Amino acid sequence: MYIPRLHPNTIEEVKQRADIVDVISEYVVLRKRGKDFVGLCPFHDEKTPSFTVSPTKQMYYCFGCQASGNAIKFLMDLGKRSFAEVTLDLARRYQVPVQTLEPEQRQELQRQISLREQLFEVLASTAQFYQHALRQSAGQKALQYLKSDRLLKEETIQQFGLGYAPAGWETLYRYLVDSKHYPVQLVEKAGLIKPRKEGNGYYDVFRDRLMIPIRDIQGRVIAFGGRTLTDEQPKYLNSPETELFSKGKTLFALDQAKSGISQFDQAVVVEGYFDAIALHAAGINNAVASLGTALSLEQVKLVLRYTESKQLVLNFDADKAGNNAANRAIGEIAELAYMGEVQLKILNIPDGKDADEYLHSHSPEDYRELLINAPLWLNWQIDQILKDRDLKQATDFQQVTQGIVKLLKNIVNKDTQNYYISYCAEILSLGDSRLIPLRVENLLTQISPASSYSQPVPLKRKAEINQASQASPSSSERGLLERAEGLLLRIYLHCPEQRQTILNALEERDLQFSLSHHRLLWQKIFELPIQQVDLISNLQDSYLESSEDLSLISHLFYLNEKSKKDIMRTPQVVQAAITCIELVMCEKRYRHFKELWEATDEQAEADLYEYYGKAFLAEKLRYIKLNAQRNFSIEEVLKYA
């Protein structure tokens, strides 16, 4: 569903009406403590409450994991939903009139909301109809199949809402249209009936099939999958694409698996409905299914919301079709995997079994052991390249080497690439350790041939100061910058009377924020109207609406009792933070110019040699002067940051 940008008035009214204690109390047991409420944090495991909710500020903060925000942010993080979706839901709940930035879109938005709500109602009624039909005499064959062939218990059948579509051509049509009086066009839009080709009436999409409801992340039925109980083809039939259902953006059982995925910090993706159902029935509740289609990038991003380490295991069949499916899935998410944004593993169950078949003869612990031992996707891909190849044969050796080089070239992380170069060199050496250095050199040459390097271009003077300032800080420099810049931003956010002082100091010394997350926050501060009173609240909204990552700066929005007292000495602390930032910048510049000076030929490039020498000396002298204030500056920053 397309949601146009909501009007700021709607967002503001939602924030005013949606009491944060009221919202969070539905998910967390809160107890009054002074002016605030406390409870166990829903975002990490803890035994002692560190999650604080402030009714006066309409904010929450966890002292354990530093999660923080307002009611909208809480629901976004908890349900992994967008800013617009959460705001719209809260608007409905608190009866806030919805306005958009484009007034003409308001009527269309209301129409879409109304249509979706009606579709949800029709599909819920249909699910109940199918479940009822499963218990009737006509559904006994389907029920017997579930219990005898699939070995499912009654509780699992009910948990997944499994049902049966009767064999008649118009059974569901008559129930929904004639008995329940739903408009026929609405039932058609739900993907449940189709018009007859001769243009006379409608017929049911699903007939004489075992029915599996497909639900959205909130557990609402949005479509169905139907398995034939005869020889009819196709074996599995899914609902068509509708207003609610997009096959490439939906994962079966994600509504039931999201908690397990977060708990185990791992998502398991299988091919079929019954593979996922069997895993859940066995207590492995972090499994989802890809609806029988190639796994898409949208599906991967959807499931990765719930795992912090971004660990994904693809458990596709070990046959040729399953391997092709795994390769297609890898192709979709290869860029994420190469960059390390997803920890991808491939599980092929021995003897070519799928998860459902395997659990008929093995225990859940056996399957969990397979998950633990599943190879990383690069190892699996290398195994696929080596499959049915004889490295003692020249042609096979050449083809394997070419395949490996193509694979390794795409690895972005140099440490990972170096590891796999050594790993593959050992394979290609065929057990002869003396050949490993040669194989490493050969792979390196093919991955990064000398021809790919260009000669360094002389630097232009006008860009050198800027380049020195933009050089990546060392880890120790970064730690100091993180504290100093963060402290300065915290003071700016919480002490309005110090804002002009900070602006003047930065301008006078020509300083900028070096760390990208601090630069973005500073930019957003000045994108807001000058007269904004509630700066922190509006900044949070800006981040949430643009889907920017809040995690690196959210702690700056909150002050505990200690930090409130600490920043009371703001004039001295501002000076200390400014000095620290300038000290680090100055050290970077003088080291940069020193390196350039030492690398320049005094005879051949006399002009450049003199320029670098003077620049180095000037920055060095400035650094010595700043370092005289080192004790005060660093001690203050470390104390109050």
Secondary structure of residue 459 in the 3-state scheme: coil
Q: How many CB atoms lie under 10 A from the CB of residue 230?
A: 9
Q: CA torsion sign, 19 to 22 to 26 to 27?
A: positive
Q: How far is CA 404 from CA 382, 388, 400, 412, 427, in A?
A: 7, 15, 6, 15, 11
Q: Residue-wise over 255-275: b if at least 16 C-beta within 10 A, else e?
A: bbbbebbbebebbbbbbbbbb
Pick from 588, 625, 450, 475: which is nearest to 596 by CA? 588
Q: Do 37 and 52 contact (CB within 8 A), yes or no?
A: yes
DSSP letter for each residue of 562-621: HHHHHGGGHHHHHHHHHHHHHHHHHHHHHHHHHHHHHHS-TTTTHHHHHHHHHHHHHHHH
**CB < 8 Å & 24+ apart, contacts of 406-411:** 407/378, 407/381, 407/382, 408/443, 408/447, 409/447, 410/334, 410/338, 411/338, 411/378
DSSP at 38: E
The answer to whether the CB of 577 falls within 8 A of the CB of 640 is no
Give a three-class secondary structure readout of 289-353.
ECCCCCCCHHHHHHHHCCCCCCEEEEECCCCHHHHHHHHHHHHHHHHHHHCCCCEEEECCCHHHC
Nearest to 349 by CA among 323, 328, 331: 323
Give residue 626's identity as a one-letter amino acid code.
L
Rounded Cα distance between 505 and 575, Å, is 8
**Residue 53 phi, psi (nearest 5):** -120, 125
Identify the pLDDT of residue 322. Answer: 65
- Please state the separation of Cα 301 from the chain's center in Å: 6
> Could you give all domains of the chain from N- to C-terminal order, each with its CATH number?
8-93 (3.90.580.10), 107-245 (3.90.980.10), 249-382 (3.40.1360.10), 388-451 (no CATH), 462-640 (no CATH)
pLDDT digits (tens, 9 = 90+) for 141-197: 999 999 999 999 999 999 999 999 999 999 999 999 999 999 999 999 999 999 998
Contact 512, 465 (CB under 8 A): no
Distance, in Å, from the CA atom of 27 to the CA atom of 217, rounded to the nearest integer, reads: 16
C-alpha distances out from residue 449 to 422, 428, 438, 442, 452, Å: 17, 19, 15, 10, 6
CB 490 within 8 A of CB 567: yes
Judge whether 217 and 258 are in contact, CB under 8 Å.
Answer: yes
Helix (H) and strand (E) counts in the chain: 28, 15
Q: How far apart (Å, rounded) are the C-alpha atoms in residues 162 and 175? A: 19
| Nearest one of 275, 238, 276 to 256, comparing CA atoms | 276
Rounded to 5 degrees, φ, ψ at 495 are -125, 80
Please tell me the predicted confidence (pLDDT) of residue 463. 44
In terms of Cβ atoms closer than 10 Å to its own Cβ (0-12, 13-18, 19+), residue 591 is middle
Reading the block at residue 443, the tokens are: 């792979």
CB 194 within 8 A of CB 188: yes
Question: Nearest 5 degrees, angle CA 349-CA 352-CA 355?
Answer: 50
H or E segment to which residue 436 belongs: helix 436-447
pLDDT of residue 193: 96
Amino acid letter, 128:
Q
pLDDT tens for 510-567 read: 788 878 888 888 888 887 765 555 788 888 878 777 666 677 888 888 876 666 666 6
Count of Cβ atoms closer than 10 Å to residue 468 Cβ: 20
- Give the span between the Cα atoms of 217 and 212, in whole angstroms: 16
**Burial 518-540, CB ≥16 within 10 A → b, else e:** bebbbebbeeeeeeeeebbbbbb
Mean pLDDT by 10 residues, the chain (641 residues): 67 84 84 85 86 87 89 89 86 78 62 79 96 96 95 96 95 95 94 89 95 92 95 92 90 93 91 94 95 79 82 81 73 77 88 89 94 93 93 93 92 82 92 83 75 33 42 58 86 87 84 83 79 74 74 80 66 81 81 82 80 76 67 48 53
The candidate with the shortest Cα–Cα distance to 41, out of 18, 20, 64, is: 64
> Within 10 Å of residue 418's Cβ, how many Cβ atoms?
14
3-state SS of 113-181?
HHHHHHHHHHHHHHHHHHHHHHCCHHHHHHHHHHHHHCCCCHHHHHHCCCEEECCCCCHHHHHHHHHCC
User: 73 is written with which tokens?
Assistant: 């942010």
